Amino acid sequence: MRKLRPNQQRSVGRDAHRALYAEYMASAAWWERRREWERTELASTGLPAVLCVACNMKWTLRDDLHHIDYDRLGDEAHDDLWPMHRPCHTKMHQLIESSKSWRRMSRRFANVQALPVLRREIAGLPADEIQTLTVTGLKEFL
């Protein structure tokens, strides 16, 4: 079903990996994976809506699913993906990139470490300021 498996081509360089990632993000397979992810999440939580892991506000399929690592890109486990609004998601990437020690850790562990810091940071921001955070300067994968 999922034809695009960037994971199988990890020997390719960083730019090629990035291109594969961009291609996957635009693919029908990724959009189907997102719908499947939402169904699984709603069924497992029993809540009427999915909530953003950072700000705890309602998330929808128009929002982002953050890869906490890229090891299973194209064949993600449910827990590899975190629901986030674009501004919250952008802040998460900026936060991880801002820390030398987090950049050195496994991506997955760095995410787990960074999430409570991000939550505190977002909780302290006025709502309109969160909405105006931009994606400019975001160099890493989403």
CA angle 93, 94, 96 (to 5 degrees): 65
Point out the residue whose Cβ comes nearest to Zn ion.
52
Judge contact between 86 and 138, C-beta under 8 A.
no
Does position 85 bind Zn ion by CB under 5 A?
A: yes
Looking from the CA of 82 toward its CB, the CA atoms found within 13 Å total 24
Q: Which amino acid is at 6?
A: P
Helix (H, G, I), strand (E, B) or coil at 50: strand
Q: Which is nearer to Zn ion, 29 or 125 (CB)?
A: 125
Q: Provide, rounded to whole angstroms, the least separation between the CB of residue 136 and Zn ion.
A: 16
Is 91 one of the binding residues for Zn ion (CB under 5 A)? no
11 vs 55, beta carbon nearer Zn ion = 55
**Which residue from 54, 73, 95, 118 is in contact with Zn ion, where contact means CB under 5 A?**
54
Which residue ranges make up the site for Zn ion (CB under 5 A)?
Answer: 52, 54-55, 66, 85, 88, 142
